[in-house]
Amino acid sequence: MRSATEVRPQALALVVLLVPLAGLGAAGLAHVGGAAQPLHAALLTWGLATAGGLIILQALERMNYPHSRLGVCNIMTLLRAAAITMLAGLLATPEVLHPETGLGWALVVLAVITLMLDGVDGWAARRSGLRSEFGARFDMEADVGFAIVMAALAWQSGQVGIWFLALGLLRPAFLLAALLLPALRHPLPDAYWRKSIAAVQMGVQVAILTPIIAPTVAQLLGASLLLGVALGFAVDIRWLLTRAQRDACAAQA
C-alpha cells in the first residue's frame, strides 16, 4: 500500500490542476462556437471531471498501485480523461455541435488530439516499465468514456439518431450482465481483432463529426460501426459462455 500512498499526492495535484483547466477549456470552446451560455459547458465539465478525479484517486489505493510514481503513461491518460470531460461539457451547449454552424473542425481537432493520446499512454507504459492493473483499467475506462461522449456528440450534432448512443452503452451493458452471469467475468485472451475494432470504432466516431460528412453518410457509417462492434461483443460473450460450460463439464467428470 506504500506505493499507492506515495503516488496519491501526485495524482491529486494533477487532478486539482486539470479540473479547472478542463472547465475553462470547455467554456472557451462553447464561446467560440457561439453558445449563448458557455458557462453551462464549464459547469458540466467541472462536475464530470471532479467525479472522475475522485474515482481515480480511490482506485489508486483500492487497486494497490505498485509504483512510486505515476509516470508519463498515467499522466497522458489523465490528460485524455480531462479532454474527454471537455468534450462532454459541450453537450450542455448543443448549438455549438452543428458541423457547419458550430465548432466544426475545432471539435474534430480536439477529438483527434484526445484519440492520439490513447496511443501515447500505452507506449509510455511499456517503455517506462510502469505497467499496472490500475493503468490498464484506467486506459480501458477512458476508452469507454470516449466512446460514450463521442456517440452523444454525434447524436446532438444531428449527424445520427439517438440509436447511436447504443454504441457507447455496449461496454457498460456487458459489465452489468457480468454482475448477473459469473461466466462473463473471466478475463478475455488478448486478440488483435478486438484491438483493431476498438481503433476503427474511435476513428469512425471522430470522422462522423467532420463537416464534410453528410448526415446520410454518417448514419450509414454509424449503423455499420454499431453492427460491427455488437458482433465483436457477441463473439466474446459466446467464447466466455462456451468456456464456462466446458469448465463445468470438466468439473463434473
Q: 152-209, pLDDT tens digit by residue?
A: 999 999 999 999 999 989 988 998 999 988 889 888 888 888 888 888 999 999 999 9
**Rounded CA separation 193/196 (Å):** 5
H/E stretch holding 63: none
Average pLDDT over residues 72-90: 93
In a domain, 196, yes or no: yes
The SS3 of residue 31 is: helix
**How many other C-beta atoms lie within 10 A of the C-beta of residue 57?**
16
Q: How confident is the model at residue 126 (pLDDT cuts 50, 70, 90)?
A: confident
Q: How confident is the model at residue 66 (pLDDT cuts 50, 70, 90)?
A: confident
How far apart, in Å, are the Cα atoms of 38 and each of 82, 149, 152, 190? 18, 18, 18, 43
Assess whether pLDDT exceeds 60 at residue 1. Answer: no
Q: How confident is the model at residue 109 (pLDDT cuts 50, 70, 90)?
A: very high
**Rounded CA separation 53/48 (Å):** 8
DSSP-assigned states of every residue in 197-238: HHHHHHHHHHHHTSTTS-HHHHHHHHHHHHHHHHHHHHHHHH
Assess whether pLDDT exceeds 80 at residue 232. Answer: yes
In a domain, 15, yes or no: yes
Domain that holds residue 136: 2-248
Q: Residue 80 phi/psi, 5° resolution? A: -65, -40
How far apart, in Å, are the Cα atoms of 250 and each of 70, 186, 215, 247? 43, 17, 52, 5
In a domain, 147, yes or no: yes
In the block, cell 454518417 appears at 218
80-89, 112-121, 179-188: the lowest-pLDDT one: 112-121
| pTM for this model (two decimals) | 0.89
How far apart, in Å, are the Cα atoms of 62 and each of 5, 36, 53, 133, 233? 11, 42, 14, 11, 28
Answer positive or negative: Cα dihedral of 211, 217, 219, 221. Answer: negative
In a domain, 193, yes or no: yes
Task: Domain count for the chain, please give it.
Answer: 1
In a domain, 104, yes or no: yes
Total number of residues shown for the chain: 253
**Rounded CA separation 66/89 (Å):** 33
Helices in 157-214 by DSSP H: which ranges?
165-180, 192-208
Residue 93 near residue 38, CB atoms below 8 Å: yes
In a domain, 253, yes or no: no
Q: Residue 36 phi/psi, 5° resolution? A: -70, -35
Identify residue 54 by its one-letter amino acid code.
L
Assess whether pLDDT exceeds 90 at residue 16. Answer: yes
**First vs last Cα of the chain: how many Å apart?**
42
77's CB contacts (< 8 A; 6+ apart) are: 117, 121, 135, 138, 139, 142
Q: How confident is the model at residue 4 (pLDDT cuts 50, 70, 90)?
A: low
